[in-house]
Amino acid sequence: MRLFGEDILPLAAEHVVLAVVPVLIGLVISLVLGWWAWRVPAVRRVLVPLTGVLYTIPSLALFVVMPLILGTRILDPLNVAAALVLYAVALLVRTVVDGLDEVPDDVMTAAVAMGYRPGGLLVGVQLPLAVPVLIGGLRVATVSSFSLVAVGAIIGQGALGALFTQGFERFYTAQIVFGLVSIVVLALIFDALWVLVGRLLAPWTRAARGPGRSAAEDDATVGARV
Amino acid sequence: MATICAHKRVAHLSASVRPVIEFRDVGKAYPDGTVALRSLSLTAREGQITVLVGPSGCGKTTTLRMVNRMVDPTSGQVLLDGADVGGRDPAALRRGIGYVIQNAGLFPHRTVLDNVATVPVLLGRSRREARTTAAELLERVGLDPRVGSRYPAQLSGGQQQRVGVARALAGDAPVLLMDEPFSAVDPVVRADLQDELLRLQSDLGRTILFVTHDIDEAIRLGDMVAVLRVGGTLAQFAHPAELLSSPADDFVAEFVGRDRGYRRLQFLGAGELTLTDLPTGPDDGEGGWVLVLDDDRRPVTWRHDGQDVAVGSLYRADGGSLRGALDAALSSPSGRGVAVDGDGRLLGGIDAEAVIALLHRSSDPAGAAR
Amino acid sequence: MLTRIVAWFAAPAQWSSSTGIPARLAEHLGYTALAVLVAAVIAVPIGAWIGHTGRGRLVVVGIANGLRSLPELGVLVLFVLLIGLGLLPVVLALMLLAIPPLLAGTYSGVAGVDPAAVDAARGMGMTERQILLEVELPNALPLIVAGLRTATLQVVATATIAAYVSLGGLGRYIVDGQAQRDFAQMAGGAILVAVLAIVLELALQALGRAVAPGRPGDRAARRVAAFLAARGSDRSSDPDRSSGPDPSSGPDVVPVPAPSGRTAP
């Protein structure tokens, strides 16, 4: 499908891959780092503020300095992907720690008293109970990732973001609006997918939704980044 | 309403019952210098409910948690069936000990049935087998098996606590640790749960170590009660009747409470109580009060000047205590309590003076404790 | 590579000319301050009103969630095309991005004030206006500052992109460096933006701590707390206040042993 002189579908597919894959990689890294930080207070004191600072670095700046860190070429798509992994980690480490904190003390006490070992406790009790918080974090990370990919267009690596730069150069408003709508729609589709995954993995939250949970999720999703 | 007699098994013979949990000079000090427990020696015997009671900060929960190694002592030994628990793998040890805590600590992400099935599954039994056991246990603790498919958050506090007890029983552990299990529910539900525990215990005969800060609960449930004071020293370890009749010191007397004399009545049998005749016919009418009976001679109501007045609490003579007898007398609108037999048929009347007289005669506590 | 970046920073022209670092930094901060200020003037009163009355909650959540999925670059270039080059479209676009966090922060801050404190204030005879200004807003301040922080960082980041639509600011170095294939200039600009963002984050964090409830001098909060204490309530707006004696607390209760083997190896 060609629109505005661009082959849209491959561009959209590239946008999705560039936005979603780094979040998934970031999730895996964050689970490890987050669990470590949750277990060792000293690690938490360093890691959580550090990821907070990392998250404040503007994306364009991070895209540009990635070659310095990775040794990649300036126009390598890996720069954008790696920067997005960093953002996902910056957001999700905190989420994992919060999610593990969320497990009530009573439940932890009962589980330990029943004879769970650390591994079984993590897989059988802690992670399942952290799912609602994790999904909240993944939704924010994914939606902002879709928006961040577009910024990459300024350094020539923005997938659908190219619609913005080209539309701007050609003074073509329709192309920009089309780009806005398509990125928002893609982001919302994946946002809805996470909600669905959350419902499948955490059926108990709908059986009895704790008070304040939905408000907390709403608040958590306010802080997007650029 | 019939008075419920507190049923107590033979406790003053406890020295002959096999010790299951033994604390030997156990102490716990934290690196910051806080001493949770100074030096405690205590034995919980097979098939008995041993209650640890004391004010906040007396180390009772710490003591309990040493049994399943949630806390390790810094001095002394904890023995389970004669072996030091310090040498056991904590997780394996815990799978063999039931544990119930204040807010039940149910897993919110698992159905009630899977919550109860947790320990059997950890012990390697098949999920299906574990669920069958779990369903039986739900009935056993007085729950409709249909709640099994719900999540914990859909249950009331009392129901959750019952599930907590079922979960602790599921591993067939001979030893149960209960840490303030009924403290978070309202008094009516708490009384239900206490009755339920006593009923279960008379079937199962587990060795139970029970922590509470509520002396009434301790006296109600305990075969033996250990009163701890702040800082973790044992103030007295005795049968509840003895605790009420002869507190070891001022601390225990204070802790046991003002009306201990009245509460002690529940441990005194009323077997020799002299019953009086009650006016039951329309002709008697002594002082205007008549007890109306049905065809089986069961009390229905008091009648006074043609008005019906509720009977108040009945005293069941089979196995009733002096407390029940006195309560029947004090709560009766006519001023005279109504004693009935096991089938609810009228035996006679109780005068409060007769209860007091009997109390004077049986003032030797050791002989009166059943 | 690193030596070229250092050389870029060290060039004397960088620190004096009208396109030097101090000038660009001033531009960047200027756009940011202007956009955040306008956004705050709009968002804080609306958020406070919604939080106080409880009306329109869904609107706030809807706006906040809807706007966060908008790609900033697209919004920026669209505004420039619609309005024309210049400061106005850029400030409008930046403001649009700053509104949701400020709105959400103010709303949840005001709505989250302990209802008992508001009730007590009403009971003491405060007018609705006094309740909002003397009780709700002071207690909501930490969350309003948190919203301000998010908004500021978002605007600082997006102001970098503004260079793409021919404006000044630190983003200039990145966009110009890209066009001139001058990587030292790009990296230098990127480092400056990153440092600016981090400094602002730390400054706003400190501000957040300074306005946290329980600080001395907050007369209204103290008055309400005293009233609540006198009334025997254990709930108050101050999270540091303990919630009364708990039979299960105290040294008797040992923290949950984390599976780190702290208590049981």
Instruction: Answer whether C194 sits within 8 Å of A58, measured CB to CB.
Output: yes
The tokens of C190 are what? 């990127």
What backbone torsions phi and psi does residue B63 show, to the nearest 5 degrees? Answer: -60, -50
Mean pLDDT of chain A: 86
Residue A161 lies in a domain: yes
User: Where residue B132 falls among pLDDT bands split at 50, 70, 90?
Assistant: very high
Q: What is the DSSP annotation of B278-338?
A: ---STTT-GGGEEEEE-TTS-EEEEEETTEEE----EEE-TT-BHHHHHHHHHH-TTS-EE
The CA distance from B89 to the nearest CA of chain C, in Å, is 9
Instruction: Answer whether A109 sits within 8 Å of B70, measured CB to CB.
Output: yes
Rg over alpha carbons for chain B, rounded to the nearest Å, is 24
A187-196, B139-148, C220-229: segment of lowest average pLDDT: C220-229
pLDDT value at residue B282: 65
**Cβ-based burial of C45 (10 A; exposed 0-12, middle 13-18, buried ≥19):** exposed
**CA–CA gap between residue B201 and residue C157 (Å, rounded):** 67
Tell me whether A114 touches chain C (CB under 8 Å). no
Q: What digits encode the pLDDT tens for the residues C169-214?
A: 888 898 888 888 888 888 888 889 889 988 998 898 888 888 876 5
pLDDT value at residue A226: 42
**CA–CA gap between residue B34 and residue B232 (Å, rounded):** 11
pLDDT value at residue B116: 93
User: Where residue A164 falls among pLDDT bands split at 50, 70, 90?
Assistant: very high
Mean pLDDT of chain C: 76
Tell me whether A223 touches chain C (CB under 8 Å). yes
Q: How far is CA C226 from CA B7, C79, C219, C243, in A?
A: 50, 52, 10, 15
pLDDT value at residue B137: 92
The tokens of B356 are what? 């007091």
Which domains does chain B possess? 14-259 (3.40.50.300), 286-365 (3.10.580.10)
pLDDT value at residue B286: 56
The tokens of A171 are what? 């003074």
Query: Is the CB of residue A214 less than 8 Å from the CB of residue C56?
Result: no
A213-222, B69-78, C37-46, C65-74: segment of lowest average pLDDT: A213-222
Q: What digits encode the pLDDT tens for the residues B215-264?
A: 889 999 999 999 998 888 899 999 998 888 888 898 888 888 767 777 77
**CA–CA gap between residue B87 and residue B93 (Å, rounded):** 10
- What is the residue range of C217's domain? 20-231
**CA–CA gap between residue B263 and residue B225 (Å, rounded):** 15
The CA distance from C232 to the nearest CA of chain B, in Å, is 21
Residue C244 lies in a domain: no
Give, for B227, the enclosing helix (H) or strand (E).
Answer: strand B224-229
Instruction: Answer whether B59 sits within 8 Å of C252, measured CB to CB.
Output: yes
Which chain A residue has the Cα nearest residue B89? A115
* CATH assignment at residue C155: 1.10.3720.10
Instruction: Answer whether B93 sits within 8 Å of A115, measured CB to CB.
Output: yes
Instruction: Report which of A213, A208, A149 is spatially closest to residue A184, judged by C-alpha positions.
Output: A149
**CA–CA gap between residue B283 and residue B189 (Å, rounded):** 44
The larger pLDDT score, comparing residue C93 to residue B14, is at C93
pLDDT of C250 strictly over 60 = no
Query: Is the CB of residue C113 less than 8 Å from the CB of residue C143?
Result: no
Q: What is the mean pLDDT of residues B180-201?
A: 89
Of B57, B71, B102, the CB nearest to C250: B57
The structural domain count of chain A equals 1
The CA distance from C52 to the nearest CA of chain A, in Å, is 16
One-letter amino acid for residue A148 of the chain:
L
Which chain A residue has the Cα nearest residue C84? A171
pLDDT value at residue C17: 75
Length of chain B, in residues: 370
Residue C106 lies in a domain: yes
The greatest distance separating any two alpha carbons of chain B, rounded to the nearest whole angstrom, comes to 80
Residue A226 lies in a domain: no
pLDDT of C33 strictly over 70 = yes
Q: Which conformational region is residue B76 in: left (phi greater than 0), alpha (psi within -120 to 50 degrees), or beta?
A: left
pLDDT value at residue A190: 94
Q: Residues of chain B with pLDDT > 70: what percent?
A: 91
Q: Residues of chain A with pLDDT > 90: what percent?
A: 56
pLDDT value at residue B338: 86
Which chain B residue has the Cα nearest residue C250? B57
Rg over alpha carbons for chain C, rounded to the nearest Å, is 24
Residue C257 lies in a domain: no
The larger pLDDT score, comparing residue A16 to residue B255, is at A16
Alpha helices, DSSP H, located in B155-246: 157-169, 187-204, 215-221, 240-245
Q: What pTM did the predictor assign?
A: 0.73
**CA–CA gap between residue A180 and residue A164 (Å, rounded):** 8
Instruction: Answer whether B91 sits within 8 Å of A117, measured CB to CB.
Output: yes
Q: What digits encode the pLDDT tens for the residues A49-64?
A: 888 888 888 888 888 8
Residue A28 lies in a domain: yes
Instruction: Report which of A160, A225, B120 is spatially closest to residue C100, judged by C-alpha positions.
Output: A225
Which chain B residue has the Cα nearest residue C258? B70
What backbone torsions phi and psi does residue A110 show, to the nearest 5 degrees? Answer: -60, -40
Give, for A164, the enclosing helix (H) or strand (E).
Answer: helix A162-169
Q: What digits encode the pLDDT tens for the residues B283-333?
A: 655 567 888 888 888 888 888 877 888 877 788 877 677 888 888 888 888
Give, for B207, the enclosing helix (H) or strand (E).
Answer: strand B207-212
- What is the residue range of A113's domain? 2-220
pLDDT value at residue B69: 92
* CATH assignment at residue A47: 1.10.3720.10
Residues 171..190 of C with a Cβ closer than 8 Å to A: which?
171, 174-175, 177-178, 183, 186-187, 189-190
**CA–CA gap between residue B28 and residue B59 (Å, rounded):** 9
Tell me whether C244 touches chain B (CB under 8 Å). no
The structural domain count of chain C equals 1
Instruction: Answer whether C61 sits within 8 Å of A218, measured CB to CB.
Output: yes
pLDDT value at residue A1: 64
Residue A211 lies in a domain: yes
pLDDT value at residue B363: 60
The CA distance from A206 to the nearest CA of chain B, in Å, is 10
Instruction: Answer whether C252 sits within 8 Å of B62, measured CB to CB.
Output: yes
Which chain C residue has the Cα nearest residue A214? C61
One-letter amino acid for residue C14 of the chain:
Q
Q: How far is CA A15 from CA A22, A53, B90, in A?
A: 11, 26, 50
pLDDT value at residue B330: 82
This model of the complex carries an ipTM of: 0.82
